[in-house]
Amino acid sequence: MADELEGIKAADAARPGAHPATGRPLLRIDGVVKNFGAFRAVDGVSLDIGAGEFFALLGPSGCGKTTLLRMLAGFEAPDAGRILLGGSDIAQALPHERPVNMMFQSYALFPHLSVRDNIAFGLKRAGMARADIATRVAEMVALVKLDGMEKRKPDQLSGGQRQRVALARALARRPQLLLLDEPLAALDKKLRESTQGELMELQRRLGMTFIIVTHDQEEAMTMATRIGVMDAGKLVQVASPRELYEAPRSRWIAQFVGDINLFEGELQSREAHRVTIATRDAGTLVVAEPRAPVGKTTVSVAIRPEKVKLSRRALDGDADQGPAINRLEGTVSDVCYLGGSTAYKVKLDAGGTVRSAIANTARRDSDAYSVNQRVVVWFTSNDCVVLEQ
Amino acid sequence: MSARRIFARPARFAAIAPYLWMALFFLVPFGFVLKISLSQTAIAQPPYEPVFDFTAGWAAIKAAFGALSIENFKLLVSDDLYVFAYVRSLTVAITATAILLLIGYPIAYGMARLPARWQAVAMVLVIVPFWTSFLIRIYAWINILQHDGLLNQILLALHLVSQPVVWLSTDSAMYLGIVYSYLPFMILPLYATLAKMEPALEEAAADLGAPPGAVFWLVTFPLSLPGVGAGVLLCFIPIVGEFVIPDLLAGSNSLMIGQTLWLEFFTNKDWPVASAAAIILLIVLLAPLLLYERVQRRQLEER
């Protein structure tokens, strides 16, 4: 397990901006706290973000991610802590004094101004020459593919077009940092997916630093190079999408990011590179030794559904030797065909229920499992993770 | 009968209702006033002639029509007394409306930025004076402004003045009374537009480099213009015709058209001139109304 995780980390290091610690970070958030009355919205968040990163702040609503973003934009002042941008503390600077721009969830386009004037608004405030403004606006209009729409007012545009104007307006000043507050929430699913791709491509091309706030873990995983997961005002894990998914730090993160099977149990023994856990309702499981030594004896074994395999008959060979080290018998209780994959629920003889997702790699699958069928559920010791909390 | 027709009938009636209202309560009385304004004063009951008698036959009606003239209008536009009254009415209304806008806008803006539960409290505070009769409130002001009234007592106690100041029967007292009475009519429409404005718009302007002053003039104010228009009209039109406040608080040396009209009607018993004065007032007031409507329609068409 430890070796494999190192492999995951090494692969991520190759991605731009994934390791800001090697250079001076563009943005350093240092012990930032924000209270609203008695409610602590952001609770001592520290985070470094490198130039050129596409960083996602992910969390459920009310976790403090939007408040943190608003502090970066200057709409809220932190009660404690520093926000360093390019080395200077901007924590108390007013919004109009910061080289940071934001794209609002509601887009906040000025309804009385045309598309052109919306995009030019920030350029005029910067005191740019008229000719330069015209050039930059044309450039931005082309960038977001809104040619021919320059004279329209926001209420003459579709939702997708408004989203593009908002993006062009925020990008026009070429900010050091672009903040995006749920930028795709108002779009329908198809448009959202294509826009995700466009945003990524745009960020790569411009080499700009993006910080996106989202509650949608799929969106964060698709777009971001790194993800910071927030819960109750605290940053609970900062990791690459893969590390976050494959090596979540807690039960809560494991459940928040994707689907997962969790089995609680007692730590029984520790041998060479593996630990044995007696679970309450899934028998005894063998798991590769986690990175950090396990302190508690009450732990959870977590395994993603797509790593849970099913078999029709008892597997050959000694369970202790083969890769299919964990074998559990059970009965299929639910089958849900999803197109690309099929989700199975298996009621284990030991009492628990396990979910398994199997890719539909062929059009006709005569081997598909059906409800009430007896199966063997199996997975390797490397495919599951031990979680303490 | 199809479902559509069932719904069509009340819908059609609903569309007619406002026109019916207009015809019954505006056009018909307006017709009467217009007719009187074209008549001559007479010592009779009613105090003008000709009087239409529809039972007297066609020739008599024709003769009555022939007796109508625009003499009263000629008098009104040629006599300085009336011209000054119109000019003074417009001056007072424009000045008072400007003061109202300057005071009302910051109050409405402050209200719209209060936390939601305090907004309701502020709204009640703005409306609460309406629960007392308008006349009583103006008389209360007379009490405060008079020679030994509250205002002079305070000023004397604070040694700001050495002897009582004359407040009553001055233009200052009249403006005070007008601004005090009409302030809610300015605040409420302004508050309504400012409160429904998306707060993110001001944040977006600040985010794009606009300092607070620029945020206000480039975003907040332009977007509040419908409220400004409604508030200005709601104050300007009744102030032009205002009669009670100038009569009670201002001096008697220069009259507003409302006072002049009252004098002609009740003191001079000159109904035709009073009617003509009312008609001209209506035409004067129609101009800003039509202008406002045209601007609004243009805004709608742009969308």
Residue A102: list chain B partners with CB under 8 A. 203-204, 207
Read off the CATH number of the domain in which B92 is found: 1.10.3720.10
> Which residue, among B196, B198, B202, B207, would best test binding to A if mutated, counting the most A CBs under 10 Å from its CB?
B207
Please state the domain count of chain B. 1
pLDDT of A1? 40
In a domain, B14, yes or no: no
pLDDT tens digits, residue range A148-198?
999 999 999 999 999 999 999 999 999 999 999 999 988 888 888 888 998
User: Measured between CB atoms, which of A101, A111, A153 is closest to B208?
Assistant: A101
Q: How far is A215 from chain B (nearest CA, A)?
A: 20
Residue B201: list chain A partners with CB under 8 A. 108, 110
User: Measured between CB atoms, which of B198, B203, B218 is closest to A95?
Assistant: B203
pLDDT tens digits, residue range B3-37?
555 555 667 777 888 889 988 998 999 999 999 99
> Which residue, among A96, A103, A118, A178, would best test binding to B if mutated, counting the most B CBs under 10 Å from its CB?
A96
Q: Is the pLDDT of residue A12 over 50?
A: no
Mark yes or no for CB contact A101/B207 under 8 Å. yes
Q: Angle between the B150-157 and B134-145 helix axes, to the nearest 10 degrees?
A: 30
Question: What's the pTM value of the predicted model, to 2 decimals?
Answer: 0.82
Nearest chain B residue (CA) to A105: B200
Q: How confident is the model at residue A17 (pLDDT cuts 50, 70, 90)?
A: very low
Q: How many residues does chain B have?
A: 303
Q: A247 phi and psi, to 5 degrees?
A: -135, 60
Residue A119: list chain B partners with CB under 8 A. none
pLDDT tens digits, residue range A241-255?
999 999 999 999 999
pLDDT of B4? 53
**Average pLDDT of span B284-299:** 83
Mark yes or no for CB contact B214/A125 under 8 Å. yes
Q: Are B240 and B232 in contact (CB under 8 A)?
A: no
User: Measured between CB atoms, which of A94, A108, A112 is closest to B204?
Assistant: A108
In a domain, B171, yes or no: yes
Sequence-distant (6+) residues with CB within 8 A of A23 are: A50, A51
pLDDT of A15? 39
Closest by alpha carbon to B183, among B285, B90, B91, B107? Answer: B107
Structure tokens at B27: 């056009």
pLDDT of A389? 67
Q: How far is A108 from chain B (nearest CA, A)?
A: 5
Residue B204: list chain A partners with CB under 8 A. 102, 104, 108-110, 169
In a domain, B29, yes or no: no
Nearest chain A residue (CA) to B202: A108
Q: How far is CA A44 from the centre of its chain?
A: 21
Q: Which residue has the higher pLDDT, B106 or B299?
A: B106
Mark yes or no for CB contact A104/B204 under 8 Å. yes
pLDDT of A364? 81
Burial B55-91 (b: 16+ CB within 10 A, else e): eeeeeeeeebeeeeeeebbebbeeeeebeebbebbbe
Q: How far is the CA of B134 from the CAs of B129, B180, B292, in angstroms?
A: 8, 11, 28
A308 CB neighbour count, 10 Å cutoff = 22
Q: How far is the CA of B228 from the CAs of B178, B194, B298, in angstroms?
A: 18, 10, 17
Mark yes or no for CB contact A155/B303 under 8 Å. yes
How many whole angstroms separate alpha carbon B234 and alpha carbon A235? 54
Q: Angle between the B134-145 and B171-195 helix axes, to the nearest 10 degrees?
A: 130
How many whole angstroms separate alpha carbon A58 and alpha carbon B139? 64
A330 CB neighbour count, 10 Å cutoff = 22
In a domain, B30, yes or no: no
How many whole angstroms separate alpha carbon A307 and alpha carbon A378? 9
Nearest chain A residue (CA) to B208: A122
Mark yes or no for CB contact A156/B210 under 8 Å. no
Specify the 3-state DSSP secondary structure of A196: helix
Contacts with A, B 100-159, CB within 8 Å: none
Residue A110: list chain B partners with CB under 8 A. 201, 204-205, 219, 223
Question: What is chain B's Cα-based Rg?
Answer: 25
Q: Check if B298 contacts A (Cβ < 8 Å).
A: no
Nearest chain B residue (CA) to A175: B208
In a domain, B194, yes or no: yes
Q: How far is the CA of B297 from the CAs of A314, B196, B226, in angstroms?
A: 79, 21, 12
pLDDT of B295? 82
**Which string of DSSP letters, residue by residue, matches B190-238?**
HHHHHHTS-HHHHHHHHHTT--HHHHIIIIIHHHHHHHHHHHHHHHHHH
In a domain, B151, yes or no: yes
Q: Is the pLDDT of residue B238 over 90?
A: yes
pLDDT of B55? 81
Q: Are A253 and A229 in contact (CB under 8 A)?
A: yes
Mark yes or no for CB contact B223/A122 under 8 Å. no
Structure tokens at B165: 């100041």
Which residue's structure tokens are 């409405």? B108
Query: End-to-end distance of chain B based on CA atoms, in angstroms?
Result: 38
Q: How far is B152 from chain A (nearest CA, A)?
A: 45
In a domain, B216, yes or no: yes
How many whole angstroms separate alpha carbon B126 and alpha carbon B184? 6
Interface of A with B (CB under 8 A): 73-75, 94-96, 100-102, 104-106, 108-112, 121-122, 125-126, 153, 155-156, 169-170, 173
Nearest chain A residue (CA) to B203: A75
**Average pLDDT of span A304-325:** 75
> Which residue, among A94, A110, A136, A156, would best test binding to B if mutated, counting the most B CBs under 10 Å from its CB?
A110
How many whole angstroms separate alpha carbon B243 and alpha carbon B265? 13
Q: Which residue has the higher pLDDT, B45 or A227?
A: A227
Residue A121: list chain B partners with CB under 8 A. 205, 208, 210, 218
Parent domain of B202: 77-302
Mark yes or no for CB contact A96/B203 under 8 Å. no
Which residue's structure tokens are 């620029």? B214
In a domain, B266, yes or no: yes
Q: Please report the ipTM that was assigned to this predicted complex.
A: 0.83
pLDDT of B138? 93
**Average pLDDT of span B262-274:** 91
Q: Which residue has the higher pLDDT, A11 or A252?
A: A252
How many whole angstroms separate alpha carbon A98 and alpha carbon B206? 10
Q: How far is A200 from chain B (nearest CA, A)?
A: 23
Structure tokens at B62: 């024709």
A65 CB neighbour count, 10 Å cutoff = 30
> Which residue, among B193, B201, B202, B208, would best test binding to A if mutated, counting the most A CBs under 10 Å from its CB?
B208
Q: Are A274 and A326 in contact (CB under 8 A)?
A: no
Q: To the nearest whole number, what is the mean pLDDT of chain B?
A: 89
User: Measured between CB atoms, which of A108, A122, A170 is closest to B200?
Assistant: A108
Q: How confident is the model at residue A23 (pLDDT cuts 50, 70, 90)?
A: low
